Structure 1
């Protein structure tokens, strides 16, 4: 009990400092958004049907996969911190589990689980009484499933097969969530929520409220089993040995650039984190484009390649930060063309797969060839240039690969900045293809040379800017990677961290970033492909229902709306960033003026 109370007090102290620090605004915005979603979940409890168990299934899925895409979730209390104390794994797991209930996500989830109380009112006083322990047990199931999933993924990333398998599973799940509108439309067309959803672990609380008290017992047993599994995985994590690197084939290169290319290509195939990211990007692109097939709509299949390129670029945007202090090798190698070598290696890793996907799926659907052949070279060139440019200008200090510890998902101490960098990269890569796609939509095959020219210019121009920046500021970047702090920086935060801004502006930024893809992709790009093929009257695509004179203008307006939302979010973020930098500069000047 003493161990549990100590860990709880530590988590409370960390949370108090986080609320007062630079993370406070992000936490408050996430909390407001979470409360709104929780309120919508509780509202479903007043409706007939299986909407509430389906919603809880989504919450459970969010708990499982959410930490996977945020560096392993909340790890303010890491198991490695307590490995030298000699605690038994079960006691450590119980203490960490209790501390995990303290935070924004558990509170918001508990509010969403209040729908069990609403459902219990239909069963009378007994249902309301049972709903209270059911809420607590259901939340414990969510938290433990999250912890065990992250621990299992960490074990999977210890082998190449496991890393690929984990990437495939995560890509499928996230693509399904990203294309949720497909399944919403399918249900709206007469489909029903499958009966088995009610019997998933996420629905056991509702079964208990409805009178099946064995569900409470089942949740308690599941919690004990998950706790035991987590304790065993914690033991493996804190005592795991590092894989041997013996037996590697020696690397031979005649020039410095060839050495960079060979090193990068080997990193793409041997670094299990990169392997996981590549498998995820590939699976996400294919599944995201194939999801509309559930409605009999194949038109989005040709976008699998472009989506894969964008996701691969966003995941590899912090390439220098991920490599850590290995950058000193480049600084000590005269004449090494590190940027160009990395660009060629990135194209070699991403390009062939992207081209194969694009051509194969476009052959299946029979077009639209001008759009895909215009977008693909532009995206490849834009990705190859922007990956290096964003990395050297907005580097997020990463954890050296040799020091990643038991959670390989966490590649940086500032995971929030990595998320901001990924969103920005998606926007920038999409913008690099916008001129070619616009020309192809209006003038057909003329978009192909525009796409090739745009890709070449982005590759050469952005690479040149990155190379100059690396030459001029290479030593400073190495210092950032070593210490995690920037010269003259007070907080040490990356350029992509969420700056302090008013609550309405922060809410607008979050809405623009998270919802901008809806008008841009399905209502814009996908609608354009349908119109080009003469497919009209599809359920969810507004442009296909418009009169002939308004179809293309509607689709173009949707694309502009999506780009406008992303641009608005970026401009508000940038304005707040400049104001924060000005405030810090004034704070540094005041003591100097007062000194005489």
Structure 2
């Protein structure tokens, strides 16, 4: 017990010194959004226990998939730090479990679990008393399932087959969550499938409702998961296996060809990239195929474009994943590293996107102009944005040879990687908007627009990335080596703003994509396609005369939010330049 208390105190001390500046603002924004979701979950306790059980199932999946998607979860205290102490695996697991309850995410989840207490109060005093241990055990199940899932995926990433299989599984589950409305429609607008009650996320609610065995089952599950995690921790120290098979030597006639060959070899050998590629493929296919459950094949043609967007988000920190090996790139003049990486990225992602788009569009019978316009536009936009974002907003990455403990962790800054992925999602979608609108309004002419905008983005954004790499290469390497960004970055500009300005700018940059992309651009596309009353897109539910104006209003709102954020940041940048 003393070890557990000590680890919890260590976690508190680390977080107290870590949550400063931009990281504190990011954590605060995440906490506010999480508490809003938690409040909505507690509200379900007043509406219908069936909906509350479904809500807790979503929280469970979030705990299991969130860390996998965002780089391995919270590892403020790592098992490797205590390797020389000689602690038994179970004792180490208990200590790390106690420390895992210290943080923003467990506090937010505990707030959401207050729905059990609300349900117990409504049923009686005994039920309310049972709700207290049920809340704690349910939270322990969430945390332990998260730890076990990350550990299992980490072990799977030590083999190519495991990396691909885990990527396919995670992509499928996350796509199903993204299309949850399909399953709700399939099961009825108010009904909840009975399978929800068999999930561990509903056992606490069952205990509060009088089925006392569920409380015992939760306790047994916590003990079992703790034992499984302890066993996985003992295997974590092993190094990643390296294949002993001979490899064909890399041969190239030009410097750019050498970059392409090196990148292609990396895509074939790096298990993290294998995982990310499989994840993007599964997400694109399953997200587009989910509506087939209700007999609608209208999403099938967009599997390829969705795959491109997700693959670009996975590669948003392309140069950051090199680790300190970036110095090799900087010390080799006379070649265009950016162009080589662009060509390699297109060579690995392009054929998959083309096959998905053409094949599934043929199955659905169209719309050919729209998807053939989106395909080159998104490919070119992603090929330009991937190197550009990675050099302008580089997140210091972990050297590949140091990922053995947790291969999912490619950076120390999970929040930075997550923000970078969301930014990439919004920007890549934006590069396809002109081609999509042209295809909707002018038909096949949109294909020419897509080819033109894609080529322009790939060439122009790649040129900007190349210039940035040449002019700021030493600063990027210093950032990679030390983990500290130079004072000329956007982060330092944020830190020089007042607290209110930072909050407003953070909300504008963080939430501006919501009205711009889904409620604006995508809603206009759905209205143009006659897809009315579609999911959560407001414009599709309005009368005929209001649909396009409302979608246009959301686009203007999103642009205004981004403009406001830039306007707030720019004065600080101007003052810095004058000094």
Task: State TM-score, norm by structure 1.
Answer: 0.90
* 1:343-422 aligned within 5 A: 343-422=342-421
d(CA) in 2 for partners of 1:498, 1:272? 40
**Cross-structure match for 1:426:** 425
Does the aligned pair in 2 maintain the 1:71–1:411 contact within 8 Å?
yes
d(CA) in 2 for partners of 1:498, 1:344? 39
1:51 aligns with 2:51: yes
**Cross-structure match for 1:482:** 481
SS in 2 for 1:93: helix
Does the aligned pair in 1 maintain the 2:515–2:555 contact within 8 Å?
no
Q: Structure 1 residues 243 and 464, CA, compared in 2 at 3 Å: closer, same or farther?
A: same
Does the aligned pair in 1 maintain the 2:526–2:532 contact within 8 Å?
no
SS in 1 for 2:251: coil
d(CA) in 2 for partners of 1:304, 1:495? 39
d(CA) in 2 for partners of 1:497, 1:521? 32
d(CA) in 1 for partners of 2:260, 2:372? 27
**Cross-structure match for 1:593:** none
d(CA) in 2 for partners of 1:495, 1:164? 40
What whole-Å deviation, never above 9, does each CA across 1:562-585 have from its counterpart, x for those lacking one? 644554454444445446657878
What whole-Å deviation, never above 9, does each CA across 1:336-370 have from its counterpart, x for those lacking one? 22111111111111111111111111111211111
C-alpha displacement of 1:431: 2.0
d(CA) in 2 for partners of 1:48, 1:408? 41
Q: Structure 1 residues 505 and 183, CA, compared in 2 at 3 Å: closer, same or farther?
A: farther
**Which of the numbers 510, 531, 554 marks the counterpart of 2:547?**
554
What whole-Å deviation, never above 9, does each CA across 1:70-108 have from its counterpart, x for those lacking one? 211111111111112111111111001011111111111
C-alpha displacement of 1:143: 0.6
Q: Structure 1 residues 492 and 90, CA, compared in 2 at 3 Å: closer, same or farther?
A: farther
1:310 aligns with 2:303: no
C-alpha displacement of 1:223: 0.7
d(CA) in 1 for partners of 2:564, 2:190? 41
| C-alpha RMSD over aligned residues | 2.8
**Cross-structure match for 1:229:** 228
SS in 1 for 2:395: coil
C-alpha displacement of 1:226: 0.5
**Cross-structure match for 1:16:** 16
What whole-Å deviation, never above 9, does each CA across 1:132-165 have from its counterpart, x for those lacking one? 1111111111110011011111111111111111
* 1:210-289 aligned within 5 A: 210-244=209-243, 247-289=246-288
C-alpha displacement of 1:320: 0.9
What whole-Å deviation, never above 9, does each CA across 1:364-409 have from its counterpart, x for those lacking one? 1211111111111111111111111222222222111112241111
d(CA) in 2 for partners of 1:263, 1:116? 54
Unaligned runs of 5+ in 1: 590-596
What whole-Å deviation, never above 9, does each CA across 1:458-514 have from its counterpart, x for those lacking one? 12222222222222333332232222233446x996999998645455445544345
d(CA) in 2 for partners of 1:241, 1:388? 28
Q: Structure 1 residues 159 and 279, CA, compared in 2 at 3 Å: closer, same or farther?
A: same
C-alpha displacement of 1:239: 3.6
Does the aligned pair in 2 maintain the 1:309–1:379 contact within 8 Å?
yes
What whole-Å deviation, never above 9, does each CA across 1:527-550 have from its counterpart, x for those lacking one? 43x33xxx66778766666666x4
Q: Structure 1 residues 474 and 22, CA, compared in 2 at 3 Å: closer, same or farther?
A: closer
1:108 aligns with 2:85: no
Does the aligned pair in 2 maintain the 1:525–1:555 contact within 8 Å?
no
Question: Which sits farther off after the overlay, 517-526 or 426-435?
Answer: 517-526
Does the aligned pair in 1 maintain the 2:508–2:562 contact within 8 Å?
no
**Cross-structure match for 1:452:** 451
d(CA) in 2 for partners of 1:311, 1:190? 29
How many residue pairs align between the two structures? 577
d(CA) in 1 for partners of 2:542, 2:126? 53
Does the aligned pair in 2 maintain the 1:418–1:496 contact within 8 Å?
no
d(CA) in 2 for partners of 1:234, 1:2? 20
C-alpha displacement of 1:178: 1.8
d(CA) in 1 for partners of 2:149, 2:192? 25
**Cross-structure match for 1:126:** 126
**Cross-structure match for 1:161:** 161
Does the aligned pair in 2 maintain the 1:398–1:412 contact within 8 Å?
yes
What whole-Å deviation, never above 9, does each CA across 1:105-124 have from its counterpart, x for those lacking one? 11111111111122223432
Q: Structure 1 residues 283 and 204, CA, compared in 2 at 3 Å: closer, same or farther?
A: same
Does the aligned pair in 1 maintain the 2:312–2:382 contact within 8 Å?
yes
**Cross-structure match for 1:69:** 69
Q: Structure 1 residues 85 and 544, CA, compared in 2 at 3 Å: closer, same or farther?
A: closer
C-alpha displacement of 1:18: 3.3
d(CA) in 1 for partners of 2:577, 2:74? 32
Q: Structure 1 residues 566 and 342, CA, compared in 2 at 3 Å: closer, same or farther?
A: farther
C-alpha displacement of 1:417: 1.8
**Cross-structure match for 2:292:** 293
Q: Structure 1 residues 273 and 310, CA, compared in 2 at 3 Å: closer, same or farther?
A: same
Q: Structure 1 residues 345 and 218, CA, compared in 2 at 3 Å: closer, same or farther?
A: same
Q: Structure 1 residues 39 and 546, CA, compared in 2 at 3 Å: closer, same or farther?
A: closer
Unaligned runs of 5+ in 2: none
Q: Structure 1 residues 515 and 99, CA, compared in 2 at 3 Å: closer, same or farther?
A: farther
1:141 aligns with 2:134: no
**Cross-structure match for 1:205:** 204
Task: State TM-score, norm by structure 2.
Answer: 0.92
1:438 aligns with 2:437: yes
Q: Structure 1 residues 258 and 503, CA, compared in 2 at 3 Å: closer, same or farther?
A: closer
**Cross-structure match for 2:182:** 182
